[in-house]
């Protein structure tokens, strides 16, 4: 829904979109969209001492929250949030989802996609979305009354304290369930007919947005008329209070989602190197890497070694205090890369460790070994194994070490994997 009077500014291609194409006023032309306002309200309530990345990435979250890209289809009022988190369905609109972008060091795109998850979750506070009632901003379907009303009235009701221990993608269904639970009591005060009615199929499905469309009670959207009259539903709310309540619910569930996402993002390693990577038995080897973490400036590390076909053995372990994210001066302009470096967005530290090439009191025998770096953050997350098979080399956790009985040539000793 466009909460503006400038429909003529909409590109012609958008005039073919219908159903839930623009919900909560997702395009802001004369000011912040309703989705942006919800995200901003939620982020102001986040304790940035506990979730500092949600302060660093606040603009990305708000920007992503305006996106309609995640809807299952034009005529669908929802989307598959788990696929947004994992990148599971491969649609180009996902741009890789959250975790694939994050683990492949496209940090900006990861947080944009968290914002897109917020958008789809916020939609489920709109009764027309939670019951899949067709609505639009275009010629053949009118906009939804709640979305039109909240486009001009940004009064947030009480913001609930939502348990943030669930997975980020679970809040979509949680909020839809909460909204669906009130559809029967939200009735037109004059007719006692519900404003929104689920289809029989939608009422049976876990996610109502995948079922048959619902409808406006009595065949028409009477919400705006009820809001204008300010009549109270017997024993309940006025229409305007319903709208304010749902804005508050959207903000509360958005807050829980971003806090959960912050805790679930894993630590990463960047730029692992060995020097030399071809050595004689007992030769000292320098193991260098950058540790990255989104939420706290602290990780634990363990360096392991695995012979070809053998079991991994721990070489050394310890704890690291990381540095603050570096200011993101990168704007993607002339002579600047489109993707900021990971250190601009994440806690980071470049580490260089020396290992003497001794295991169990003996120099390593001749052969090929794999040295890997594993990290654990304060939330118990570890670097996922997928980083070594995703086609990106900068995020790999391991490098090969070749041990030879004779002193390697200078060319070999200076080579890096």
Question: Does 415 have pLDDT greater than 90?
Answer: no
- Do 396 and 388 form a contact (C-beta atoms < 8 A)? yes
Question: Does 87 have pLDDT greater than 90?
Answer: no
pLDDT confidence tier of residue 93, bands split at 50, 70 and 90: low
Entry pTM = 0.88
* Burial classification of residue 302, based on how many CB atoms lie within 10 Å of its CB (0-12 exposed, 13-18 middle, 19 or more buried): middle
- d(C-alpha 164, C-alpha 168), whole Å: 8
CB count within 10 Å of CB 228 equals 11
Q: How far are the Cα atoms of 36, 265, 409 from residue 112, in angstroms, in the given order?
A: 13, 14, 48
Q: Which two tokens stand for residue 92?
A: 């180009």
pLDDT score for 9: 33
pLDDT score for 340: 83
pLDDT by residue (tens digit) across 96-136? Answer: 789 999 999 999 999 999 999 999 999 999 999 999 999 87
Question: Does 18 have pLDDT greater than 50?
Answer: no
Among 149-158, 311-320, 355-364, 399-408, whose mean pLDDT is lowest? 399-408
User: For 95-110, b where at least 16 C-beta lie within 10 A, e where not — what string?
Assistant: bbbbbbbbbbbbbbbb
Question: Does 416 have pLDDT greater than 60?
Answer: no
Average pLDDT, the chain: 87
Sequential DSSP letters for 152-196: H-----PPP---TTS-GGGHHHHHHHHHHTTTTT-B-TTT--BSE
H or E stretch at 203: helix 200-204
pLDDT by residue (tens digit) across 45-67? Answer: 999 999 999 999 999 999 999 98
């Amino acid at each position: 829904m466009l909460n503006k009077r400038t429909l003529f500014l909409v590109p012609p291609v958008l005039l073919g979109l219908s159903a839930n194409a623009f919900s909560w006023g997702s395009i802001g032309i004369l000011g912040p969209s309703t989705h942006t306002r919800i995200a901003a309200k939620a982020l102001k309530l986040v304790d940035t001492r506990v979730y500092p990345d949600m302060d660093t990435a606040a603009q990305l979250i708000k920007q992503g929250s305006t996106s309609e890209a995640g809807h299952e289809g034009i005529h669908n009022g929802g989307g598959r949030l788990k696929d947004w988190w994992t990148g599971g369905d491969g649609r180009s609109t996902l741009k890789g989802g959250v975790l694939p972008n994050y683990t492949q060091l496209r940090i900006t795109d990861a947080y944009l996609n968290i914002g897109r998850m917020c958008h789809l979750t916020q939609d489920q506070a709109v009764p027309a979305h939670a019951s899949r009632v067709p609505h639009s901003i275009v010629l053949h379907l009118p906009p939804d009354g709640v979305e039109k009303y909240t486009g001009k009235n940004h009064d947030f009701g009480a913001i609930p304290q939502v348990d943030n221990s669930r997975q980020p993608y679970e809040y979509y269904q949680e909020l839809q369930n909460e909204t669906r639970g009130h559809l029967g009591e939200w009735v037109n005060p004059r007719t006692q007919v519900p404003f929104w009615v689920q289809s029989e199929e939608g009422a049976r499905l876990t996610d109502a947005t995948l079922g048959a469309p619902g409808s406006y009670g009595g065949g028409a959207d009477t919400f705006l008329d009820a809001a204008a009259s300010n009549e109270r539903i017997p024993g309940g709310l006025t229409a305007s209070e319903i709208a304010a309540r749902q804005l508050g619910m959207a903000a509360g569930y958005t807050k829980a989602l971003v806090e959960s996402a912050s805790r679930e993002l894993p630590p990463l390693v960047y730029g692992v190197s060995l020097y030399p990577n071809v050595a004689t038995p007992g030769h000292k080897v320098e193991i260098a890497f950058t540790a990255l973490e989104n939420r706290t400036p602290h990780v634990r590390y363990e360096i392991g070694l695995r012979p070809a076909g053998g079991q991994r053995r721990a070489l050394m372990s310890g704890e690291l205090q990381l540095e603050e994210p570096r200011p993101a001066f990168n704007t993607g302009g002339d002579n600047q890369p489109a993707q900021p470096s990971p250190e601009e967005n994440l806690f980071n530290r470049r580490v260089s460790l020396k290992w003497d090439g001794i295991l169990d009191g003996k120099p390593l025998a001749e052969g090929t070994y794999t040295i890997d770096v594993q990290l654990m953050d304060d939330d118990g997350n570890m670097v996922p194994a997928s980083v070594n098979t995703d086609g990106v080399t900068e995020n790999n956790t391991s490098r090969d070490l070749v041990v030879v009985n004779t002193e390697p040539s200078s060319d070999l000793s200076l080579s890096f994997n």
